[in-house]
Amino acid sequence: MHLPAVDGTHHAALESWVESANASDTDFPVQNLALGVFRRRGSTSLPAIGAAIGDKIFDLRACFDMGLLDVLPPAARLSCTGWSLNNLMGAGREIAAALRRRISELLRADSALRPEAALVKMKDAEMLLPAEIGDYTDFYASVHHAANVGRMFRPDNPLLPNYKYLPVAYHGRASSVVAGGAPVRRPSGQIQAGGEAPVYEPSRMLDYESEVGMFIGRGNALGTPVPIVRAEEHLFGFCLLNDWSARDIQAWEYQPLGPFLAKNFATSISPWVVTADAMAPFRAPLERTTADPAQLPYLQSDWNDASGAFSIAIEVWLRTARMRSDGISAQRLSRGNFESMFWSPAQMIAHHASGGCNLRSGDLLGSGTISGPGEQSRGCLMELTERGTKPVQLASSEQRSFLEDGDEVILRGYCERPGFRRIGFGECRGIVEPSSTL
Ligand code: MN
């Protein structure tokens, strides 16, 4: 089994011959090597897989064509020639790790080769979805989020009895997952606004949810559960995810089967996938207290208890249309950390497969809204404004209870730990467009 480990690719002193990758504030130093799919802007060239390095993209198909990947096993080098990361995801963690080591060798400052012809400026590229996503599942793994939302409806008993026994989730919609940067149209739907019958109108309570997305690597066969100790073999990497939510549509439609149109109109993800290997230095213990119930054996392992969580700071920034026209920069609304989740990625995968469900390469799991214990770490407006009753004040002297047309939501994520190089996720952006009429 391939266990994620800190190795030479994470060494803090490593620098790259791509100068911008050595800037202290870059998300993409040579220790990160996030993967994505891009196309040269304004050209007819086919999409290609690339690795982020500073403000440039290292074109892996160009590397293949130049013979720079010939030292790798065929499965590793051929997976770099496609138009999505699915083949690489399906090849397994050992193959992804071998590719990471090779890209690191080629981009280090002490590399014998400097294949500049394989570099593309990020500003000259359009980022596409990193994978063909067959299925998308959204979890509810932040106990702070679940408690905050539960408290609004059940002040005396915020957490439902199942919460600390299983990672609650619902099956989402893969067809409307879009790469960050794509506009998001405000949905219309049935809203129970106080009359006897609901009305069909544009949502008035449009919200974001700041989450981490997880891509499935190698899949599992139908009918074959995944043991918790092997769950991370099926975890390829992480991105940022905005699970746009229409709270008024959700409130009317969600019983008894859960959210439907309130969430399936759009889900934005950041285009760069930070691999599970890149995350090795940023692991953390699972958050549990002695008051929490014992974990059922299929969801528990000592490794998971000690280091199943991942430390990723997640920030939400907002910029309204007026802020853009007045030249006011985006304003940070919250900062949370993925480390504070009650359930780890390994537990989400093990639970998802525990009934025999097959996960496939390129499937996307959302973590659920990431909120921490403090008010500054509430990961959606529903929590931040307490259902709209305490609007957020903006630098433009505007207020927001929920999102208005023209608002841009920007998620940012990064990992920091003493002794290691900071790595980041880039951004997940989306501007709200007015609803379309029937
Ligand atoms: Mn969600």
Per-residue confidence band for 3, with pLDDT thresholds at 50, 70 and 90: low
Distance 16 CA to ligand 1 centre (A): 37
Distance 224 CA to ligand 1 centre (A): 27
Length of the chain: 438
Last residue within a domain, chosen from 128, 160, 177: 128
Q: Is the pLDDT of residue 92 over 70?
A: yes
Last residue within a domain, chosen from 99, 128, 157: 128
The mean pLDDT of 47-67, rounded to a whole number, is 98
Q: Is the pLDDT of residue 1 over 80?
A: no
> 283 and 249 in one domain?
yes
> 317 and 263 in one domain?
yes
Q: What is the CATH number of the domain that holds 87?
A: 2.30.30.230
- The answer to whether the CB of 329 falls within 8 A of the CB of 271 is no
Q: Is the pLDDT of residue 78 over 60?
A: yes
For the whole model, what pTM was predicted?
0.97
Q: Which domain holds residue 108?
A: 8-128
φ, ψ dihedrals at 164, nearest 5°: -90, 5
Query: Is residue 1 a part of any domain in this protein?
Result: no
Query: Is residue 3 a part of any domain in this protein?
Result: no
Of the candidates 2, 11, 144, 145, the residue annotated as catalytic is 145
Q: E strands along 41-148, which residues? A: 48-53, 56-59, 119-121, 125-128, 136-139
Q: What is the pLDDT of residues 357-402, one digit of tens each?
A: 999 999 999 999 999 999 999 999 999 999 999 999 999 999 999 9
> 150 and 101 in one domain?
no
- Domain total in the chain: 2
Distance 222 CA to ligand 1 centre (A): 26
Query: Is residue 255 a part of any domain in this protein?
Result: yes
Distance 314 CA to ligand 1 centre (A): 15
What SS3 state is found at 317?
strand
Distance 364 CA to ligand 1 centre (A): 12
Q: What is the pLDDT of residues 94-148, one digit of tens each?
A: 999 999 999 999 999 999 999 999 999 999 999 999 999 999 999 999 999 999 9
Share the mean pLDDT of the chain.
96
The mean pLDDT of 284-303, rounded to a whole number, is 96
Distance 22 CA to ligand 1 centre (A): 35
> 104 and 162 in one domain?
no
Amino acid at 377: S
Distance 139 CA to ligand 1 centre (A): 7
> 160 and 289 in one domain?
yes
Element holding 275 (H helix, E strand) = strand 274-275
The mean pLDDT of 15-21, rounded to a whole number, is 98
Query: Is residue 2 a part of any domain in this protein?
Result: no
Q: What is the pLDDT of residues 393-426, one digit of tens each?
A: 999 999 999 999 999 999 999 999 999 999 999 9
What does the pLDDT read at residue 437? 78
Q: What is the pLDDT of residues 316-354, one digit of tens each?
A: 999 999 999 999 999 999 999 999 999 999 999 999 999
Is the N-terminal amide bond of 259 cis, ω within 30° of 0? no
- Tokens (6 digits) for 219: 């899949």
Query: Is residue 169 a part of any domain in this protein?
Result: yes
What does the pLDDT read at residue 82? 94
Distance 27 CA to ligand 1 centre (A): 25
Residue 81, Cβ neighbours under 10 Å: how many? Answer: 15
> 303 and 171 in one domain?
yes
> 78 and 186 in one domain?
no
> How many angstroms separate the CA atoms of 99 and 79, rounded?
10
- The answer to whether the CB of 224 falls within 8 A of the CB of 419 is no
What does the pLDDT read at residue 2? 47
Contacts of 88 (CB under 8 A, 6+ apart): 35, 49, 76, 79, 80, 82, 95, 96, 99, 236
> How many angstroms separate the CA atoms of 220 and 214, rounded?
16
Percent of the residues in the chain that have a pLDDT greater than 90, as a whole number: 94
Render 30-67 in DSSP notation, one character per residue. Answer: TTT--EEEEEETTS-PPPEEEEEETTEEEEHHHHHHTT
Query: Is residue 438 a part of any domain in this protein?
Result: no
Distance 259 CA to ligand 1 centre (A): 10
Q: Is the pLDDT of residue 235 over 50?
A: yes
What does the pLDDT read at residue 206? 98
> 124 and 140 in one domain?
no
Question: Which residues, chain by chain, have CB under 5 Å from ion ligand 1?
Answer: 138, 209, 243
With CA atoms as reference, report the closest residue to 272 among 107, 99, 32.
Answer: 32
Render 358-389 in DSSP notation, one character per residue. Answer: PP-TT-EEE------SSGGG--SHHHHTTTTT
Q: What is the CATH number of the domain that holds 318?
A: 3.90.850.10
Query: Is residue 261 a part of any domain in this protein?
Result: yes
Distance 232 CA to ligand 1 centre (A): 22
Q: Is the pLDDT of residue 68 over 50?
A: yes
> 276 and 235 in one domain?
yes
Query: Is residue 23 a part of any domain in this protein?
Result: yes
> 195 and 156 in one domain?
yes
Sign of CA dihedral 415, 417, 422, 423: negative
> 292 and 216 in one domain?
yes
Residue 10 bears catalytic tag = no
The mean pLDDT of 170-185, rounded to a whole number, is 96
Q: What is the pLDDT of residues 193-212, one digit of tens each?
A: 899 999 999 999 999 999 99
Last residue within a domain, chosen from 128, 146, 162: 128
- The residue assigned the tokens 């040269």 is 40
Q: Is the pLDDT of residue 90 over 50?
A: yes
> 428 and 396 in one domain?
yes
